[in-house]
Amino acid sequence: MKDVENISSMMAELGQRARAAAKVLATAPAEAKTRALNAAADALWAARAEVIAENAKDLEFGRDKGLSDAMMDRLMLDEARIQGICDGLRSVAGQDDPVGAVMAEWDRPSGLHIQRVRTPLGVIGVIYESRPNVTADAGALCLKAGNAVILRGGSESFHSSRAIHAALAAGLREAGLPEDAVQLVPTRDRAAVSEMLTMTDYIDVIVPRGGKGLVGLVQREARVPVFAHLEGIVHVYVDAAADADKAMRVVMNAKTRRTGICGAAECLLIHRDQLAGLGTEIVKALLAAGVEVRGDAAIQEIEGVVPATDADWGTEFLDSIIAARVVDDLDEAITYISDHHSQHTDCIITEDDGAAAEFFARLDSAILMRNASTQFADGGEFGMGAEIGIATGKMHARGPVGAEQLTSFKYLVVGDGAIRK
Amino acid sequence: MKDVENISSMMAELGQRARAAAKVLATAPAEAKTRALNAAADALWAARAEVIAENAKDLEFGRDKGLSDAMMDRLMLDEARIQGICDGLRSVAGQDDPVGAVMAEWDRPSGLHIQRVRTPLGVIGVIYESRPNVTADAGALCLKAGNAVILRGGSESFHSSRAIHAALAAGLREAGLPEDAVQLVPTRDRAAVSEMLTMTDYIDVIVPRGGKGLVGLVQREARVPVFAHLEGIVHVYVDAAADADKAMRVVMNAKTRRTGICGAAECLLIHRDQLAGLGTEIVKALLAAGVEVRGDAAIQEIEGVVPATDADWGTEFLDSIIAARVVDDLDEAITYISDHHSQHTDCIITEDDGAAAEFFARLDSAILMRNASTQFADGGEFGMGAEIGIATGKMHARGPVGAEQLTSFKYLVVGDGAIRK
């Protein structure tokens, strides 16, 4: 009880500081933010040896905790990865500043001139898990958009995140911006997460990046608005009118390029007319590439396919596994996907413009693709520089969330003594 | 307990029907929606005698309940007002359909073509109070944007809203669209409101339109995302560099044109240098127009001004009352407004471009005005056709909420077999 009270007052203090910093950030010149990000990259690179030493503590903690190889790999930092984080900071620094951009302007018969102008959201809370680079990416994007941010990294990356955060703080100091613009929650206690989810006075929006446990906690407890980031339960549908070569290339890339990212394909739907030829070839190619194919009754006929269970449909494997089933037509494909996807990314392979249009119209995924790998579901690939994640909700931000999506807007209305009749 | 259970299952049924209707609406042709709205206007006009008869029941209920004259006036429908509602329906019908509009599109070096396209939000819940016309306005805007809507009107306008809703239903039938696209909660029981606020499976966003009681309930109970509509605690600041004529015109219009709307001025700030001349003239003009001026110590010196109490600062009077105080400079004005406004609409009267720029930059109201009456805070005056309200939150929708603000978007990505490196 005592601890929770302490955490509550500690978080409130972080919140107050973030609010104060947000006021300064909201009107900070673009140059100051750019300078802070470039200086942070310099500071991080200069401190790479210390960062790697801090990261070693996290790796040891992870080993003791028995983390999987995949998780240990996500956690690990070396010079090349730190170089990548520095490049990311410089890339965000180099983007256009979204704050103050005029989104639209028009005149009214009343004599008013109206502008719709981008403004920061205020204070953003980012809750994430093991990858330490999110500390830099999320911190940089929030700062670019003129927001203060409270970062709550996973307990596994505690020391690494602290070391990266120190570089961000150094950058802010060098640019004369308040250090409180980017704060890192200084405890591993999970009570801090619950606190963030209900700090409506101090946090304007929560960006949760993590697995089912975190998503569930957010859905139960959040009082602060949330940019939902659900899993990527990504479907690829090979239509009756699919081109064989495109289908093979796209499915293989969508599943096997990297299996652990949210844009990786998790379920393959094959039109019944394609099953005997192209469909079988694709399944065989997946098996040959070492992918475990969990099929429905029809696909189980192909040698090497294992039977799918109910739990395999609508599941994010994030592994070298794919569920596969046959559908009778486009309508069945769309209905099935509607019932099983997470509104993240879904794809149709077809040469039929009508089928593509129907797929695009009837599904309401954040990203819909035609004849392109779902692994393109990424802010960088969309040309947004960096991303804080792929939002799957429908409110405010959707799809890849870059600096521009971390803003709000206001109307500036100018008259010359105009009064309303 | 029994009643609450019944309401819970009744609301769930409404929700299921709304979800089903939303699926149809999402891909309904623009012409069908236009036709439904025009047909609803025809049906409403044809039924005007019945609507007025139903309204009479509400007026009787209101009299028994002892509603104020202002509230009785808001509730009352006559032919002219019904004509106004019909005009509103036709005006929304005539607007461009937002669904499917391409907001942006671009090509990527990977060969992808990316489009950002408007989509409906899904199911919208609108909770409002006494004005029966909101039934038509909100229903029409939600429909235009391809959303299903669940309307929960105030108990005072129960019969009037039912009669207006019947006309909307007739319009939907005539256009071959599902009647469940616009549903009206068929009970006065307030438990239905609590139910709506937590129906995350069936409602995508809540638009609350009402006073402090409703706002508080929403803040405590809502699990569904909310487009915050706080009160309009609207400030007008007469700067040192104000033009006397513009200041007089704008302040008088902002306060007295209509006192019961959310854009009406509630607090007047006068720069100390203006107090002796222009400031005193404005206060005298307000008094002469029958406005009660509640002043700070300096303004109390003017004859007829009554002393303001602490409760008068940051208060929405919605009446012929204004709080008034003197500030030493622009900085004090901005700080005071930041601490007391509701981020709705605030105005500066000045000829000084620097002062206006600082006012615009440092305040984060949804609408900021210069030398223009705050009574222009209105979707119609902004050129948006109609509005469901003026949102004061920072997420998704802000300022006047028209059909366009009731949409989300998705990305449509087309390749030609593109795979990610």
Q: Give the chain B residue whose CA is nearest to the CA of A100.
A: B361
* Cα B153 to Cα B131: distance, rounded to the nearest angstrom: 8
Q: CA-based Rg of chain A, rounded to a whole angstrom? A: 24
Contacts of B346 in chain A (CB under 8 A): none
Facing A27 at nearest CB: one of B362, B366, B419 = B362
Cβ of A413 within 8 Å of Cβ of B253? The answer is no
Ordered domains of chain B (ranges, CATH)? 2-227+401-413 (3.40.605.10), 234-382 (3.40.309.10)
Contacts of B413 in chain A (CB under 8 A): 367-370, 372, 376
The minimum CA-CA distance between B159 and chain A, rounded to whole Å, is 32
- The yes-or-no verdict on residue A2 having pLDDT over 80 is no
Facing B360 at nearest CB: one of A362, A372, A412 = A412
Among B226, B394, B408, the strongest candidate for a mutation testing the A interface, having the largest count of A CBs within 10 A, is B394
Q: What is the pLDDT of residues A311-335, one digit of tens each?
A: 999 999 999 999 999 999 999 999 9
The minimum CA-CA distance between B190 and chain A, rounded to whole Å, is 22
B105 three-state secondary structure = strand
- The yes-or-no verdict on residue A4 having pLDDT over 80 is no
Among B217, B236, B350, B410, the strongest candidate for a mutation testing the A interface, having the largest count of A CBs within 10 A, is B410
Contacts of A384 in chain B (CB under 8 A): none
- Residues in CB range of A224: below 8 A, 6 or more apart: A125, A196, A197, A198, A199, A200, A203, A204, A205, A206
Q: What is the pLDDT of residues A394-421, one digit of tens each?
A: 888 899 888 889 999 999 999 999 988 8
- The yes-or-no verdict on residue A281 having pLDDT over 80 is yes
- The yes-or-no verdict on residue B7 having pLDDT over 80 is yes
What amino acid is encoded at A323 in this protein?
A
Q: Measured in whole angstroms, how far is the alpha carbon of residue B66 from the centre of its chain?
A: 26
So what's the pLDDT on residue A347? Answer: 97
So what's the pLDDT on residue A3? Answer: 60
B368 three-state secondary structure = strand
The tokens for B337 are 């407004």
Confirm if B231 and B261 have CB atoms less than 8 A apart: no
Mean pLDDT of A163-170: 98
- The yes-or-no verdict on residue B2 having pLDDT over 70 is no
Cβ of B108 within 8 Å of Cβ of A369? The answer is no
* Cα B274 to Cα B280: distance, rounded to the nearest angstrom: 8
Percent share of chain B, pLDDT over 70: 99
Closest CA to B332 of B231, B240, B233, B230: B240
The minimum CA-CA distance between A45 and chain B, rounded to whole Å, is 27
Question: Any idea which residue has 């969508």 for tokens?
Answer: A254
Q: Spell B380-412 as b/e; 16+ CB within 10 A means b.
A: ebbebbbbbbbbbbbbbbbbbbbbbbbbbbbbb
What amino acid is encoded at B208 in this protein?
P
Confirm if B390 and B232 have CB atoms less than 8 A apart: yes
So what's the pLDDT on residue B82? Answer: 97
So what's the pLDDT on residue B331? Answer: 97
What amino acid is encoded at B355 in this protein?
A
Question: What HEC string does A336-385 produce?
Answer: HHHHHCCCCEEEEECCCHHHHHHHHHHCCCCEEEEEECHHHCCCCCCCCC
The minimum CA-CA distance between A365 and chain B, rounded to whole Å, is 7
So what's the pLDDT on residue A68? Answer: 85
The minimum CA-CA distance between B401 and chain A, rounded to whole Å, is 12
User: Please, is A212 exposed, middle or buried when counting C-beta atoms within 10 Å of its C-beta (0-12, 13-18, 19+)?
Assistant: exposed
Cβ of B119 within 8 Å of Cβ of A413? The answer is no
Cβ of A110 within 8 Å of Cβ of B370? The answer is no
Cβ of A413 within 8 Å of Cβ of B368? The answer is yes
* Cα B330 to Cα A133: distance, rounded to the nearest angstrom: 43
Contacts of A383 in chain B (CB under 8 A): 106, 108, 114
Secondary structure letter of residue B96 according to DSSP: P
Among B234, B278, B350, B395, the strongest candidate for a mutation testing the A interface, having the largest count of A CBs within 10 A, is B395
So what's the pLDDT on residue B4? Answer: 61
Mean pLDDT of B341-354: 96
Mean pLDDT of A341-367: 95
So what's the pLDDT on residue A1? Answer: 41
Q: What is the pLDDT of residues B139-175, one digit of tens each?
A: 999 999 999 999 999 889 999 999 999 999 999 999 9
Q: What is the pLDDT of residues B271-300, one digit of tens each?
A: 999 999 999 999 999 999 999 999 999 999
User: Please, is B365 exposed, middle or buried when counting C-beta atoms within 10 Å of its C-beta (0-12, 13-18, 19+)?
Assistant: buried
The tokens for A319 are 């592994």
Mean pLDDT of A279-296: 98
* Cα B76 to Cα B74: distance, rounded to the nearest angstrom: 6
Q: What is the pLDDT of residues B372-417, one digit of tens each?
A: 999 999 888 888 777 888 888 888 889 988 898 999 999 999 999 9
Facing B371 at nearest CB: one of A27, A398, A416 = A416
Q: What is the pLDDT of residues B81-115, one digit of tens each?
A: 999 999 999 999 999 999 999 999 999 999 999 99
Tell me the average pLDDT of chain B: 93
Confirm if A293 and A306 have CB atoms less than 8 A apart: yes
Going by pLDDT thresholds of 50, 70 and 90, the confidence category of residue B254 is very high
The minimum CA-CA distance between A208 and chain B, rounded to whole Å, is 16
Contacts of B119 in chain A (CB under 8 A): 364, 394
Contacts of B113 in chain A (CB under 8 A): none
- The yes-or-no verdict on residue A101 having pLDDT over 80 is yes
Cβ of B412 within 8 Å of Cβ of A381? The answer is no
Contacts of B351 in chain A (CB under 8 A): none
Contacts of A376 in chain B (CB under 8 A): 110, 112, 413, 415, 418, 420
Q: DSSP for A271-299?
A: EGGGIIIIIHHHHHHHHHTTPEEEE-TTG
The tokens for A131 are 């990858």
Pairing of strands B390-391, B399-400: antiparallel
Distances (CA, A) of A326 to A247, A275, A365, B113, B305: 15, 7, 21, 29, 80
The minimum CA-CA distance between B145 and chain A, rounded to whole Å, is 14
Size of interface A-B (CB pairs under 8 A): 194
So what's the pLDDT on residue B1? Answer: 41
Q: Give the chain B residue whose CA is nearest to the CA of A223.
A: B223
Q: What is the pLDDT of residues A197-240, one digit of tens each?
A: 999 999 999 999 877 788 888 878 888 988 888 889 999 999 99
B393 three-state secondary structure = coil
Cβ of A382 within 8 Å of Cβ of B110? The answer is no
Cβ of A381 within 8 Å of Cβ of B420? The answer is yes
Contacts of A249 in chain B (CB under 8 A): 417, 419
Confirm if A392 and A344 have CB atoms less than 8 A apart: yes
DSSP H helix total and E strand total for chain A: 13, 16
Contacts of A232 in chain B (CB under 8 A): none
User: Please, is B305 exposed, middle or buried when counting C-beta atoms within 10 Å of its C-beta (0-12, 13-18, 19+)?
Assistant: buried
Q: A260 or B158, which is more confident?
A: B158
The minimum CA-CA distance between B132 and chain A, rounded to whole Å, is 24
Mean pLDDT of A361-385: 90
* Cα B16 to Cα B1: distance, rounded to the nearest angstrom: 23
Q: What is the pLDDT of residues A31-75, one digit of tens each?
A: 999 999 999 999 999 999 999 999 999 999 999 999 888 789 889
Confirm if A283 and A255 have CB atoms less than 8 A apart: no
Closest CA to B84 of B131, B150, B119: B131
Confirm if A298 and A243 have CB atoms less than 8 A apart: no
The minimum CA-CA distance between A153 and chain B, rounded to whole Å, is 24
A13 three-state secondary structure = helix
Cβ of A395 within 8 Å of Cβ of B396? The answer is yes
Confirm if A354 and A321 have CB atoms less than 8 A apart: no
Query: Order of strands, edge to edge, in the sheet holding A102-107?
Result: A102-107, A113-120, A407-418, B367-372, B345-349, B234-238, B265-271, B321-327, B292-295, B306-307
Closest CA to B291 of B261, B255, B315: B255
Contacts of B205 in chain A (CB under 8 A): 395
Tell me the average pLDDT of chain A: 93
Confirm if A184 and A161 have CB atoms less than 8 A apart: yes
Pairing of strands B407-418, A367-372: parallel
- Angle, helices B79-94 vs B30-46, to 10°: value is 170
Distances (CA, A) of A381 to A193, A385, B138, B420: 31, 8, 39, 9
Contacts of B108 in chain A (CB under 8 A): 381-383
So what's the pLDDT on residue B384? Answer: 78
